[in-house]
Amino acid sequence: MNRIYKINIITILNRQFSTKLAPKSNTWKSVIGLEIHAQIASESKLFSGSRNSFSAEINSSVSLLDAAIPGCLPVLNRRCVEAGIKTALALNCEINEVSMFDRKHYFYSDLPAGYQITQQRKPLARKGFLTFPVLTPVKQSKAYYKTVRLHQLQLEQDSGKSLHDEELKISLIDLNRAGIPLMELVFEPDLSDGEEAAALVKELILIFERIQTCNCRMEEGQLRVDANVSINKEGEELGVRTEIKNIGSIRGVAQAIEYEIQRQISVKDQGGVIINETRQWNAVSKTTIAMRDKEVVQDYRYMPEPNLLPLHLNMTEDVNLDDLVSVKAIEKSLPILPQELRDELVNDHKLTQVTAMILVNDTVIYNLYKDIIKENPKRSAKTVSNVLINDYIATCNKNKIYLEDSKISSSHLGEIIDMLENQELNHNLVKLVLQKLFETSQSPKVIVEENQWKQISDDAEIIKYCNQVLESENGKKMVQQYKSGKTKVLFAIAGEINKISNNRINMAKVTDMLKNILK
Amino acid sequence: MSRISNLSIKQLSRKFDEKLLCPKEHTLEVFKNIKRNNNDINAFITLSEEFALKKAEESANRIALGKKLKLDGILVACKDNFCTKGIRTTCGSIMLKNFVPTYNATVYDKLEKAGAILVGKTNLDQYGMGSGTVDSIFGPTKNVWSENLNNPRICGGSSGGSASAVAANFCSTALGSDTGGSTRNPASYSGVIGFKPTYGLLSRHGLIPLVNSMDVPGILTKTVDDCVDIFNTIAGPDDLDSTTIKKSFNPIELSENFNLKNVKIGIPKEYNCEGLTSEVLEAWTKMADFLEENGARVEEISMPYTTASIFVYSILNQCEVASNMARYDGIEYGHRADDESSTENLYSKTRAEGFNGVVKNRILAGNYFLLRKNYEKYFLKALKVRRLVSDDFKKAFSKIDLLLTPTTLSDAPLLSDFTKNNNRDQCAVQDFCTCPANMAGVPALSIPIKLSSNNLPISLQLMGPNFSEKLIFNTAKFIENRVDFYLNYNKLKL
């Protein structure tokens, strides 16, 4: 899902929900809070030396501690602490100089110790916030920025995986995932709908791509989203919330939340009550379903983990102090974050907010943009972004090629842009050139030459085309209409001229010339 | 009693050096003694004779090549809650009756790497939850000093198997564990040295936990010298236990001419408690006098939170037990009940069958204390009181250097009397003098002083501030030289 989404930014902007249960009532307000589990991209697990690898053979990446063999003690992985701090800093958090680990108890067959080590009472970081763009599906121009508060960021270990064979009535357990490091990001309920939630997740992924603390492969469960959803009326207290667990794609986040909002509205409108429950998103039927196993409220009997010392961090400027993880050193190593990129595009490159949002929203596109401008800083930012967003992505989609798999180089794209700017190519033909570029290995210049797509800019030749149209039956009619005051007809005439030139004619010149001729 | 096995570690080692004794011969001889007497005592759950003979052979080869290791040929036993690679580790429970670890506990591993030879795994109360070594599925361990083994005395616990094994000359030293007194209590009843170091000096990696924040591996030996030798071998930081002290460990050397001048010894009056027998009180008083006569400054002090220790201990113990025991579900290892109708049923039946009543009671109580609504009322409150107990020690050690107290309130009770009380009441009495040291994490050593009118050992306890091991050992040695308890072993019929 994630990968398909990535190539398809524009389609998303225009998509419609297919799962609406009832027309949205104006009187209801929805409140959304996300809890996100992000797997830390580390070599080894949070408390053991086993490899942190997704594709390893079943139960092959399990140390004694991961299987909760008695007598084994957890040893905190320093890299995971660093990743947590880096992420917390990127999300504007206050880092706790001392944080603690807790045991959270529950019985499950893929939780070998009978408890999960997490940070409930004193987490690594607190009180963060994130401002991110929301590109609404209805109208691009209504794109806006939203700010969400981050309640806390905690380190914790993942559980194993259970597979239940209903027919054979057996459960199989794979402990490769047991003990894999997670960051749990608990956001405040500051969001108002599914699109904002999806946009938040999208922004997080962009941040993770830059700081590289999580690989974000949602299909592998590296980023898992739980959404708390409630509805209330303006001025009233918050409604009872439901929790949707483990949503596995960005689109799923928007769809599941929208579905759940509509479900709650129709329950309320029919006089029903919402019960506090956990629900599961079914991506196939596009509905949320109540999960049966959590009828009783769990008491996790939290207890401080006695085998780990409190985690002390070095907050001072002296980055080598006491062998503690230095927060300042990590702060200095932070790369440029997506919002800074957008600001740069708007302030320095004079692009619109929406263009900046779309460019930065996909790292492949953004990198192409940067490379094309870098090759020749005189290129127009507007033309470059226009070609990338309107022509390049569409051509990739049409050919069902993932952006990251596309072999088209920035220098070839640059050539196209130069031809556009030098009036050697009509914008109308850019998609055709790109299509040929996908099919052949020729350079855009050669493609344009061989297909005789070069723009017609020679005045004498343009006049020939103009006359051809103006002298036709249809042309004469249109000239009459124009002269009687319907000035818009001029564009229809120009369109005809363009058509007979096979989209090659310099339209700016054509309109100027027509205006002169028909004066 | 075999004269050879009565030698200290240094004496034995010298005999190996001088080729007057060979590790194989020594090992065979000790196993003869074990076979003759262990059935009466029941110190061992598992004997590892074959493994021991193989190790003895290796020791012999090293000695022959002139590459003798520090503990080559020295026989050791391990409480059966230390994991030993390839040798089953049961915790005295059905749950782990057939559990064979694939790794060694760090402290045992260090002994093995120093050439020591493991003779077997010793008996204990299930998971260390007890103070008599009576709650083991392998039956109680009897006190080697019992007047009549058919109506035996308890050996103390929970490391009773280890204390008995040392007292019975089944080994030179044994590892115990000490959470509320589990090493010192059986040492006291069995007439051996029982030492609990500062929390964090010995790695807990591979020690199957009872209460992680109080568990400390303990050392049981016949003499202070042996205790120092073993301590020096196994102490130090361990990457596999984050709670070990990171600083590298400097081996302790006892002072040749130690004297008690300038040593301030506190006698905490709260330890003179209800149930303390006149014989123990007398031994305690006389020892205080003796130390004073020899230059120490002895003064009575007060540690008002001493009596609170037992309650705090009880709550914290049960909470951690509830948590630590959650892993025993029959899935990855250990006992698995024959009920696969559902995961829940498998869990409950496995746990119902695998644990004894004591363990189950503690799990139940611990989970109750940890409930969201009770956490503050019990667990947090207990932590606060623990701090007060610990502050008692801090205050005391700002004025004095060592504390001298009884280890146990009496000599060893009869098994038949002891088992009339339930486990909770047993522990409340037995751990009274020992568990405060675990609350505070400070080092403590129990040393036998004399025989009671029943011809049973009476012992006293020395406690000091963190990392005061050297002073404790020196003082203990001073006492040892005076009381010469060792001579009493000649009276043992074993």
Note the pLDDT tens digit of each residue in B189-223.
999 999 999 999 999 999 999 999 999 999 999 99
Q: How far apart are CA B119 and CA A153, in angstroms?
A: 50
User: Which one-letter amino acid corresponds to residue A201?
Assistant: V
Q: Please indicate, yes or no, if residue B337 is contained in any of the structural domains.
A: no
Query: What's the CATH code of the domain at B105?
Result: 3.90.1300.10
Q: Please indicate, yes or no, if residue B230 is contained in any of the structural domains.
A: yes
Same domain for A293 and A426? no
Q: How confident is the model at residue A397 (pLDDT cuts 50, 70, 90)?
A: confident
Number of domains, chain B: 1
Last residue of a domain, one of A422, A450, A478: A450
Q: Which of B208, B323, B325 sits opposite A303 (nearest CB)?
A: B323
Q: How far apart are CA B383 and CA B313, in angstroms?
A: 10
Nearest-5° Cα angle at B452, B447 to B455: 105
Number of domains, chain A: 3
The token pair at A499 is: 């058509």
| Across A252-272, average pLDDT | 92
Same domain for A463 and A426? no
Q: Please indicate, yes or no, if residue B152 is contained in any of the structural domains.
A: yes
**CB–CB of A244/A288 below 8 Å?**
yes
Q: How far apart are CA A373 and CA A414, in angstroms?
A: 8
Same domain for A294 and A155? yes
Best CA proximity match to B457, nearest among B130, B164, B36, B124: B164
For residue A495, the enclosing domain spans 459-517
- For chain B, residues with pLDDT lower than 70 are 1-5, 494
Same domain for A508 and A425? no
pLDDT of A17: 37
Q: Please indicate, yes or no, if residue A203 is contained in any of the structural domains.
A: yes
Same domain for A205 and A59? yes
Best CA proximity match to B492, nearest among B447, B448, B434, B461: B448
Same domain for A131 and A59? yes
B372 CB neighbours in chain A (<8 A) are 299, 301-302
Q: Please indicate, yes or no, if residue A337 is contained in any of the structural domains.
A: no
Best CA proximity match to B187, nearest among B13, B419, B407: B407
The token pair at B349 is: 């039946």
A70 CB neighbours in chain B (<8 A) are 83, 91, 96, 99, 208-209, 327
Q: Please indicate, yes or no, if residue B393 is contained in any of the structural domains.
A: no
Edge-first strand listing for the sheet containing B193-196: B44-47, B117-122, B75-79, B173-178, B216-221, B193-196, B444-451, B457-463, B402-406, B264-268, B297-301
Q: Which of B204, B209, B323 sits opposite A103 (nearest CB)?
A: B323
pLDDT of B423: 84
Best CA proximity match to A493, nearest among A476, A425, A462: A476
pLDDT of B264: 98
Q: Which of B208, B213, B240 sits opposite A70 (nearest CB)?
A: B208
Please list the active-site residues of B.
Answer: 79, 158, 182
Same domain for A499 and A429? no
Cβ of A71 within 8 Å of Cβ of B96? The answer is no
Instruction: Kindly state the percentage of chain B with pLDDT values over 70.
Output: 99
Per-residue model confidence as pLDDT tens digits over A441-471: 788 888 878 877 888 878 888 888 888 888 8
Burial of B357 (0-12, 13-18, 19+ CB in 10 A): exposed
Same domain for A390 and A477? no
Per-residue model confidence as pLDDT tens digits over A295-321: 567 899 999 999 999 999 999 999 888
Q: How confident is the model at residue A139 (pLDDT cuts 50, 70, 90)?
A: low
Same domain for A145 and A33? yes
Same domain for A502 and A367? no
Q: Please indicate, yes or no, if residue B286 is contained in any of the structural domains.
A: no
Same domain for A511 and A435? no
Last residue of a domain, one of A450, A471, A494: A450
Strand pairing class (A325-326; A311-314): parallel
Could you tell me how many CB contacts below 8 A there are between chain A and chain B? 99
Same domain for A257 and A222? yes
Q: Please indicate, yes or no, if residue A91 is contained in any of the structural domains.
A: yes
| Across A184-201, average pLDDT | 95
Q: Please indicate, yes or no, if residue B192 is contained in any of the structural domains.
A: yes
Per-residue model confidence as pLDDT tens digits over B80-126: 999 999 999 999 999 999 999 999 999 999 999 999 999 999 999 99
Residues whose CB falls within 8 Å of the CB of residue A513, separated by 6 or more in sequence, listed in order: A459, A462, A463, A466
**CB–CB of A403/A393 below 8 Å?**
yes
Interface of A with B (CB under 8 A): 64, 67-76, 103, 105, 107, 109, 112-115, 171, 173, 299, 301-303, 306-309
Per-residue model confidence as pLDDT tens digits over B422-479: 888 887 889 999 999 999 999 999 999 999 999 999 999 999 999 999 999 999 999 9
Last residue of a domain, one of A285, A304, A323: A304
Which of B108, B323, B378 has the highest number of chain A CBs within 10 A, making it the mutation to test binding with A? Answer: B323
The token pair at A496 is: 């005809």
pLDDT of A18: 39
Cβ of A73 within 8 Å of Cβ of B347? The answer is no
Characterise A114 by phi-psi region: left (phi > 0), alpha (psi -120 to 50), beta (else).
Answer: left
Is pLDDT larger for residue A65 or for residue A164?
A65
For residue B163, the enclosing domain spans 4-261+399-491
Q: Please indicate, yes or no, if residue B355 is contained in any of the structural domains.
A: no
Query: Strand runs (DSSP E) across B151-283, as ranges?
Result: 173-178, 193-196, 216-221, 264-268
pLDDT of A429: 81
Q: Please indicate, yes or no, if residue B100 is contained in any of the structural domains.
A: yes
CB of B320 within 8 Å of a chain A CB? The answer is: yes
Q: DSSP class of residue B12? A: H
User: Which one-letter amino acid corresponds to residue B278?
Assistant: S
Cβ of B331 within 8 Å of Cβ of A109? The answer is yes
pLDDT of A122: 96
